[in-house]
Structure 1
Amino acid sequence: MIARPPQPSAEPAKRTRNSARTKAAILVAGRAEFAERGFEGARVDAIAERAGANKRLLYHYFGNKEDLYRAVLRDAYEEIRRGERALSLDQYGPADAMDRLVRFTFRHFLANPWFPRLLGTENIENARFLKTLPDIKALHSPLVGQITAILKRGAESGIFRRDVDPVQLYISIAALGFFYVSNMATLSVIFDRDLSGVAMVQEREAQAVQMVIDYLKTQPE
């Protein structure tokens, strides 16, 4: 009888898949906990419970609470930057590219209300954790380059003004979505309108696009 050679174990691959899934679940749970309770109020036990993970694994993968918060913060910025790169804005004309960037930014905040809350938490902390992320500036520089290229193409084609600071422009674009989403509840009460309604959201998005495009247009002589 010929002995069969031992079959390779699939356990390492399975373990790798499980660890990746567990890490992702912990990051998602961390987003929710930090966004809802702030850094000081968030509890590691609650994050582990939300993720359905063993607390020891949380410490194993991410270290302490501060390190987990840093990982959540980095992941949040990486996610929006990935979305912006996926827009492939260099394939579109300047006005269309800017339209798409404004809509994406607005919709990202709308679809991820935890993101404005997380940024609010970090601002309460005076960006003390963000300052410790060594790659954060490099993460944002492609976005500035992307906007700069759109502005340059628009100016060269005669449809955009030439005196626009790309950083100031992005701050304005982000503010148009950030403020609306982060203050939706209070503004709905103050103005007696349901700002979360589809019609109101669509109207606000269209107005955000129009405001940016109108600002960028060359002024008639």
Structure 2
Amino acid sequence: MGEIRNAERTRKTILQAAKAEFFEKGYTGARIESIAKRAGINKQLIYHYFKSKDSLINEVIDSFVTSLPSGNFVLPENPAHIADFRYKVNLEHLMDFLKFTAWEAIDSVPENSNGEERRKAILQSYVADMQAKQEAGLVPKELDPALITLMISSLTIYPLLYSNVTRMITGHAAEDPEFQAKWGQFLRLISERLFEDRGVRQGPGPSDERRES
């Protein structure tokens, strides 16, 4: 039992060190040697637990996602509340991960790495949720659920990742609580315009209540 616990502890230590390395430097910039140094172990020990760099990054992201509160992925009943909800989840729980994803725009990343399958499943669940809301008459029929999901992703991620652009346009950095409050309110307002007059209850949904409690 002692050996099993030690192995689990070593594996967890490697994953924590790898998370810090990947999230700070991206896939290409991350080095196994640096991960070993962060973990305080021999480089060869990493390959004892993880067969490759691809395997390690996939497990890092899988471990990170599963560690998040499950409520982060349960979207509000009211589609007008989804953008504000996702923005707050990004702000409170996903900033380090979002910075990591920015590296993908410049990295040469192998297929099926960076936790792609896990991330795709989550994003596709958002599309399916929007489709269900559309079938229930809560979302305009002429709008593509996948494109709505992409739009919401853009609005809830871009201002956070590109804080300098946010500051140059609005006069406030993305980290400024005043901007965060204004942007959250703006997301709610434009979402209400997009989904208005569709018989959707305008009070806070279940997810909203969880955030306020």
TM-score, normalisation: structure 1: 0.69
**What do residues 62-120 of structure 1 show as CA deviations (whole Å, max 9, x unaligned)?**
222232223334445666794444x3x4xx6x42x551x32332123223222222212
Unpaired stretches in structure 2, ≥5 consecutive residues? 199-213
2:89 is aligned with 1:108: yes
Moved more, 131-140 or 28-37: 131-140
- 8 Å CA contact 1:44, 1:65 repeated in 2: yes
Quote the residue 2:131 is aligned against.
Answer: 148
SS in 1 for 2:140: coil
2:118 is aligned with 1:130: no
Aligned AA (1:50) = R
Quote the residue 1:37 is aligned against.
Answer: 25
Aligned AA (1:11) = G
Unpaired stretches in structure 1, ≥5 consecutive residues? 1-9
Structure 1 or 2, whichever has the larger Rg, is 1
CA distance in 2, matches of 1:122, 1:41: 11
The 3 A distance-change label for structure 1 pair 198 and 146 is same
How many equivalent residue pairs? 196
- Identity percentage of aligned residues: 23
- 8 Å CA contact 1:45, 1:55 repeated in 2: yes
TM-score, normalisation: structure 2: 0.71
Please show how residues 1-221 of structure 1 align to structure 2 within 5 Å: 10-11=1-2, 15-16=4-5, 18-75=6-63, 82-85=70-73, 87=74, 89=75, 94-95=77-78, 98-99=80-81, 101-111=82-92, 112-125=94-107, 128-130=110-112, 135-136=117-118, 137-138=120-121, 140-153=123-136, 155=137, 159-188=138-167, 191-218=170-197
Aligned AA (1:102) = A
CA distance in 2, matches of 1:187, 1:28: 31
- 8 Å CA contact 1:98, 1:150 repeated in 2: no
Aligned AA (1:173) = I
CA distance in 2, matches of 1:204, 1:134: 29
Question: In angstroms, what is the RMSD of aligned CA positions?
Answer: 3.3
Aligned AA (2:144) = D
- 8 Å CA contact 2:86, 2:156 repeated in 1: yes
| Higher relative contact order (CA closer than 8 Å, sequence separation 6+) | 2
The 3 A distance-change label for structure 1 pair 53 and 152 is farther
Shift of 1:37: 1.9
CA distance in 2, matches of 1:214, 1:113: 28
CA distance in 1, matches of 2:147, 2:50: 34
SS in 2 for 1:128: coil
**What do residues 6-61 of structure 1 show as CA deviations (whole Å, max 9, x unaligned)?**
xxxx526xx34x54444344334323322322222212222233345553442222
